[in-house]
Amino acid sequence: MFKRILVPLDGSELAEKALPLAQSIAQSSNAAIRLVQVVSRLPELEAGRTGGSIQVAQLERDAARQLVEGRITRGKEYVGHVAAQLEKAGIEVLVYDGTEISRKGEGGPTCLTRPLAREQ
């Protein structure tokens, strides 16, 4: 029935609720699960727009970048843990991070360009 199931994970309770259903479908149809790490880059995009000095704007951008990098690191750990649990249940899992989603024109996210390599 299904060959691959795409599950976006941002660490929210709502995203977590999709996992049992995805696991059930994957097990019943021998499908693989593709996990996508979703991290908001909004702080990075909004930093430096306060109209302050160049130095203040740079400090804001640096702080926002560090915030996003921390979210990415924690997100990778979280998604890795979820992947390990699914693999223990006998499900094939591939993990992607949010940077793997490419945009084509103005049509929005259109494809996953390549899987992240994970240490076995």
Query: What is the model's pTM?
Result: 0.69
Q: What is the pLDDT of residue 52?
A: 66
Range of the domain at 9: 4-112
* Residue 119 domain-assigned (yes or no): no
Give the distance between the most distant pair of CA atoms in the chain. 58
> pLDDT tens across 22-55, in order?
999 999 999 999 998 887 766 656 666 666 677 7
Q: What is the CATH number of the domain that holds 51?
A: 3.40.50
Number of domains in the chain: 1
User: What pLDDT shows up at residue 64?
Assistant: 79
Q: What is the pLDDT of residues 74-105, one digit of tens each?
A: 888 999 999 999 999 999 999 886 555 544 44
Q: Distance between the two ends of the chain, CA-based, in angstroms?
A: 28
| Whole-number pLDDT of residue 103 | 44
Q: In this structure, is residue 82 part of a structural domain?
A: yes
Give the C-alpha separation, 46 to 90, whole Å.
42
DSSP state of 30: T
**Any domain includes 117:** no
